Amino acid sequence: MKPERVAIIGVGLMGGALGLALLRKKRRWHVAGVGRNAQRLRLARRHGAVQEHTTDLAAGVRDADIVVLAVPVDEIAPLARRIRPHLKTGALVMDVGSVKAPIVRSLQKIFSSSGGPHFVGAHPMAGSEKTGVQHARADLYQDAVCVLTPSGNTPRAALERARSFWRGAGARVVRLDAVTHDRWMALVSHLPHLLADCLVLAADRGPSARRTLRLLAAGSFRDMTRVAEADPRQWDAIFRMNDKNLKVAAARFQKILRRLVGARNRRIPLAKAGRLHSLLADH
């Protein structure tokens, strides 16, 4: 059986990890890396994340069976418009963006013609505060949840191809509508990132106090703020694209924080939080 040709546009942490995961099954996939920076693409090839690479966008996607847009969320729609004329009829296009509703709305229009390439929104719930293919691991997606967000016009065959693809990378696939996805991401992903940034900024008392902060910041602080090292350009784009949901989640958090800080007896809400976290941990 001839391997399917996969073009990954943006071979950084996420795209690189995907390439590594797919290439564990070399007979099923042939992976090409596409990007603007030849040096980074060569690094991806040395890292084993791709088998070939090119900076020519049109050439990189022309023969691809599957194209994955592993770029920042605000670059996905413009990139999709650029590659659309160069895709073959049966191509499947997916992204890995952490925000789905605006992307699905935009790409629905780009890939609206019947009989042409199809788009299925995807969000693999995996990653790291580190960036670059040098930090990519073949097991990054292993047992991670990948959310697929098809629209009402997504053909069943395209959805099944997307599901099979992400399972092939090791992920557990679930399906959500894009609007519901974004509401939940505001609570379980985007707000935690924003809070990590806020906590680091709140603890910073200036250069003279940073030595003390490094000395005293123990496990709980470091665990809660690890993601503050994430790429600020990418996360600014995520916050902007999911701004409405993020503000709702932040308002809910602020309400609970004020209530908890002002409570005389905090044992009941603390116990409830512990029980809820235990349920999540068991899952």
Q: What is the pLDDT of residues 172-206, one digit of tens each?
A: 999 999 999 999 999 999 999 999 999 999 999 88
Picking from 118, 119, 117, 124, the residue whose alpha carbon sits closest to that of residue 169 is 124
Q: Please, what's the b/e burial string for 188-208 (b: 16 or more CB within 10 A of its CB; e: otherwise)?
A: ebbbebbbbbeebeeeeeeee
Could you tell me which residues come within 8 angstroms of residue 140 by beta carbon, excluding any fewer than 6 positions away? 13, 14, 17, 20, 21, 126, 127, 128
Q: How far is CA 60 from CA 6, 10, 24, 35, 78, in A?
A: 10, 12, 21, 9, 17
Compute the distance between CA of residue 58 and CA of residue 166 in angstroms, rounded to an integer.
Answer: 24
4-176 CATH pick, 1.20.120.350, 3.40.50.720, 3.40.600.10, 3.40.50.150: 3.40.50.720
The pLDDT-based confidence of 282 (bands split at 50, 70, 90) is low
Contact at 8 Å (CB) between 89 and 116? yes
Q: How far is CA 206 from CA 58, 84, 167, 202, 210, in A?
A: 49, 49, 47, 10, 6
Residue 72, pLDDT > 60, answer yes
Picking from 149, 153, 101, 107, the residue whose alpha carbon sits closest to that of residue 125 is 149
Q: What is the pLDDT of residues 12-43, one digit of tens each?
A: 999 999 999 999 987 799 999 999 999 999 99
Compute the distance between CA of residue 151 and CA of residue 44 in angstroms, rounded to an integer.
Answer: 33
Cβ burial of 151 (10 Å; 0-12, 13-18, 19+) is middle
Query: What average pLDDT does the segment 93-105 reach?
Result: 97
Residue 99, pLDDT > 90, answer yes
The pLDDT-based confidence of 119 (bands split at 50, 70, 90) is very high
CA 271 from centroid of its chain's CA atoms = 32
Compute the distance between CA of residue 14 and CA of residue 131 in angstroms, rounded to an integer.
Answer: 9
Compute the distance between CA of residue 142 and CA of residue 155 in angstroms, rounded to an integer.
Answer: 27
Compute the distance between CA of residue 120 and CA of residue 143 in angstroms, rounded to an integer.
Answer: 20
Residue 116, pLDDT > 90, answer no
Q: What is residue 40's DSSP assignment?
A: H
Contact at 8 Å (CB) between 130 and 13? yes
Please compute Rg for the chain using Cα positions: 21
Q: Which residue has the tokens 């499947």?
A: 92
The pLDDT-based confidence of 283 (bands split at 50, 70, 90) is low
Residue 121, pLDDT > 80, answer yes
Could you tell me which residues come within 8 angstroms of residue 19 by beta carbon, excluding any fewer than 6 positions away? 6, 8, 11, 31, 33, 44, 48, 49, 50, 136
Going from N- to C-terminal start, the domains of the chain cover 4-176, 180-282
Query: Is 4-176's fold the same as 180-282's?
Result: no
End-to-end CA distance of the chain: 38
Query: What average pLDDT does the segment 62-75 reach?
Result: 97
Take residue 2 and report the two structure tokens written for it.
Answer: 């001839």
Top CATH class, 180-282:
mainly alpha
